[in-house]
Structure 1
Amino acid sequence: MMKPFAVLALTFVLSSFTAQALDDQPTLMTTRGSLLVDQDFSQPPKPFDGISTGFASGFSGWRWNAVPRGGKWAVEDGVFTGRETPEVKHPATASYGFLYKNVIIQCEVRMNNVPLDGRKTRSLSVRTVDAKDYVCSIHMNETGFRISKDDNDHGGPDKSVPLGAVKTPLKLDEWHTVVFEILGDEMVGTVDGQSLTGSHPLIGTDKHSLMFVMGVEGSVKNLKVWEAQPNPAWVQNKAKLTAAASSAVKP
């Protein structure tokens, strides 16, 4: 049985975030080490090679779902787009398989304004995956975003437990910048300069893929992943986030 998770859910607006070059977006908890993944989608992704490992993916390359399970993926002009098939209400998923533990995942994502085809809302998730199941994720919809830990096959009672949420409109057909920092048992999820952080022992597991989940249709571009190294400023950054969150709480 896993220990109860510790939660720290905070919001912090980085006013200079959108002014930064995409390769130099601010990080709060980590600093960038070696570049592990660089996908500009100028060419269609190659399917994964190696041996499929556990849940969702393989050692290297891409794997995505297909009809009849419920998803179509295509690349055009540097954009990788996944769409549910109308007859199967299953999000389109694509995963990139590689071995990692502490990383910075950075990309641009877009929720496309297409007919809902029976769904209540559009959504998009960036998830990390180990050999058993999803580990932790950033989930976006039109009303904002949340970070969560996921432990369906790890001995926990819930498949997805929110670690924090930001209620802010996320427009359709517009690109949103995601920076996903993972170091040890802590994570920081940042969308368009607003950040949430949380901790749980599961987050520190050895992971073998990252996954994009698109419902009903979503796109990703400019995907990069770096090794994550400790940021000496995290103690101060975390304190500022804590203070900002405390001051935002209404009595």
Structure 2
Amino acid sequence: MKVWLLLSLTILGVLSLSAAEEPTLMTKRGKLLVTQDFSAPLKPFDGISKGFASGFSGWRWNAVPRGGKWAVEDGVFTGRETPEVQHPATASYGFLFKDVIIQCQVRMNNVPMNGRKSRSISIRTVDAKDYVCSIHLNETGFRISKDDNDHGGPDKSVPLGALKTPLKLDEWHTVVFEILGDEMVGTVNGQSLTGSHPLIATDKHSLMFVMATEGSVRNLQVWQAQPNPDWAKNKAALIQPATAAP
């Protein structure tokens, strides 16, 4: 009985640790909207997909050749860029949202490049037609951006901040992505960047993970975001580093 109790407490402790709520700066957590522990195979999405952006709910993955190959393996969702396609692996989770806190852990996997050009991970929000804002990670650091929202049209991506800090391969990095109105905060391993743009305030339809070469995600959670009364003080304490984007 004592052994079983100890085992149960240990399991609960591990689960609590894996789902720990990381500190936030701009927002406070409201209702939990999404939780994905990748403990079971993913179900097909619902709805009629309008490309990668909208019209569906749930996961959309392995839908087109250039989206790479994704698999759920031991509580981890891994995307592998197909070498001959030369396009990062992409997987999207469709749900309607606006102001949110997105938290997950990501890992760039140290596998042979096999002709692929780079190793990186992006976490992107998407509106009814295209990208909205993102956090981008590679081995040299991370950056945040307002994204190109019309693929080939006059709208262009706008860099909002960058930080040079080593992000090792084969190690898990904790990401917290806060969005409230036209502002965003991107935090990686406790280091934060913030920026604003009118497009960020748009209604979003999906969340996308982009893996160049190979990368994994685990412990994904999304909450509704509420204003943090300490944001002005927290924002003033952030020093936007004058470094080139990694």
Please give the TM-score of this superposition, normalised by the length of structure 1: 0.84
State yes or no: 1:136 paired with 2:104.
no
Runs of 4+ deviating beyond 6 Å: none
2:150 to 153, 170, 175: 153
Consecutive unaligned residues in structure 2, runs of 5 or more = 1-16
1 or 2 for the larger relative contact order (CA 8 Å, sep ≥6)?
1
Instruction: Give the structure 1 partner of residue 32 of structure 2.
Output: 35
Offset at residue 55 of structure 1 (A): 4.5
Q: How far apart are the structure 1 equivalents of 2:155 and 2:86?
A: 22
Q: How far apart are the structure 2 equivalents of 1:226 and 1:154?
A: 29
State yes or no: 1:47 paired with 2:55.
no
State yes or no: 1:95 paired with 2:92.
yes
Q: How far apart are the structure 2 equivalents of 1:98 and 1:178?
A: 20
State yes or no: 1:229 paired with 2:226.
yes
1:172 partner SS: coil
Offset at residue 119 of structure 1 (A): 3.1
Is contact 2:18–2:219 with CA below 8 Å preserved after alignment? Answer: no
1:169 partner SS: coil
What percent of counterpart residues are identical?
83
* Structure 1 residues 159 and 218: CA distance shift in structure 2, 3 A: farther
Instruction: Give the structure 2 partner of residue 6 of structure 1.
Output: none
Bigger mean CA deviation after superposition, 101-110 or 111-120 = 111-120
Amino acid across the alignment from 1:181: E
Offset at residue 192 of structure 1 (A): 0.3
**Cα-Cα RMSD:** 2.1
Bigger mean CA deviation after superposition, 62-71 or 42-51 = 62-71
Is contact 2:106–2:218 with CA below 8 Å preserved after alignment? Answer: yes
Deviations 1:130-175 (A, max 9, x none): 0121000000011100000113418974542211001011000000
Instruction: Give the structure 2 partner of residue 200 of structure 1.
Output: 197
Consecutive unaligned residues in structure 1, runs of 5 or more = 1-19
2:65 partner SS: coil
State yes or no: 1:164 paired with 2:161.
yes
1:1-251 pair list within 5 angstroms: 22-53=19-50, 55-66=52-63, 68-153=65-150, 157-241=154-238, 244-245=239-240
* Structure 1 residues 112 and 21: CA distance shift in structure 2, 3 A: closer
Amino acid across the alignment from 2:190: G
Offset at residue 203 of structure 1 (A): 0.2
Is contact 1:70–1:89 with CA below 8 Å preserved after alignment? Answer: no
* Structure 1 residues 178 and 249: CA distance shift in structure 2, 3 A: closer
Please give the TM-score of this superposition, normalised by the length of structure 2: 0.86
Offset at residue 50 of structure 1 (A): 1.9
